[in-house]
Each structure stands twice: as C-alpha cells, then as structure tokens.
Amino acid sequence: MDIFSKIAAGEIPSYKCAENEEFYAFLDINPLVKGHTLVIPRREVDYIFDMDDDEIARFQQFAKRVAIAIKAAFPCIKVAEVVLGLEVPHAHIHLIPMQSESDVDFKREKLKLSPEEFQQIADKIYAEFQK
C-alpha cells in the first residue's frame, strides 16, 4: 500500500477534514497556508487522468464540497485547486485557500504548525463539511 492509501485506511495518522466511502480529505503536513488540504481517492491510482470519466467526476464533486467547507472555515478570495503528484504516487488534489497568487507558490517556505493547530484547522473544516 502506498502512503496515502495507508492514510485513508487510518494506518498512518492524518488530520481528517472530510470523507465518504470513496474519497478522503486531510491536511497537507507541509502547508503553504492554513487550510491547505489534500483530497484523495481511497482506491490506489497514481495518475489522476488514469481515472475514468465517472470516477474523476465524482472526485471533483467531492473536492468541490471540501473547497466550499475550506472557504467557509478560512475566508479567502478563492480556493485554488492544484494537481502535481510528483512526490507521492497516489492521485491527489491540493486545495489551498488563497489571498494572493503567492499563496500557491510551492517553492515558498512551508508553515510550521503545532499538532494542536493542525487539529483545530482540520476540526473547523470538518465541521463545515458536515453542514
């Protein structure tokens, strides 16, 4: 199992933001900004564009719901959706609440947050997702 499959299965801890039977959302451990979230399919698939049309549509619909929850929890201009996938070979969408373009510069220094801060951020997004 790859690392993100283990996270979705609960075998590796993560800060859960949202889930359903098919998809899982959790905080990026090296966040660009507060609320930087990763959305993944539970199914092991590396390249997002290997998903068939129905699966990628459901994936996007789930990511949209998570983005709405992030925006409610962390007011921002827009939530950016970014797909890179060069580091972890399991399809994932980055959702990043944005106040400016520099918030999505992956070369910039990442935030250092305490476990308590991570938990509070995840709880806020999770609460909005449940509404």
Binding mask 22-51 for ligand 5GP (x = CB under 6 A): ----xxxxx-------x-------------
Q: Give the pair of three-digit tokens for residue 46.
A: 């590396």
Find the helix or strand (DSSP H, E) in which 50 lies. Answer: none
| Helix, strand or coil, per DSSP, at residue 129 | helix
Measured CA to CA, the distance from residue 39 to residue 62 in angstroms comes to 8
When asked if residue 1 is in the footprint of ligand 5GP (CB under 6 A), the reply is no
CB contact at 8 A, 41 and 55: yes
Closer by beta carbon to ligand 5GP, 5 or else 14? 14
Query: Which one among 47, 84, 99, 108 touches ligand 5GP, defined by CB under 6 A?
Result: 84
Binding mask 47-76 for ligand 5GP (x = CB under 6 A): ------------------------------
Question: Sign of the C-alpha dihedral, residues 72, 130, 119, 97?
Answer: negative
CB contact at 8 A, 25 and 19: yes
When asked if residue 85 is in the footprint of ligand 5GP (CB under 6 A), the reply is yes
Please report, as ranges, the residues that interact with ligand 5GP according to CB under 6 A.
3, 14, 26-30, 38, 84-88, 92
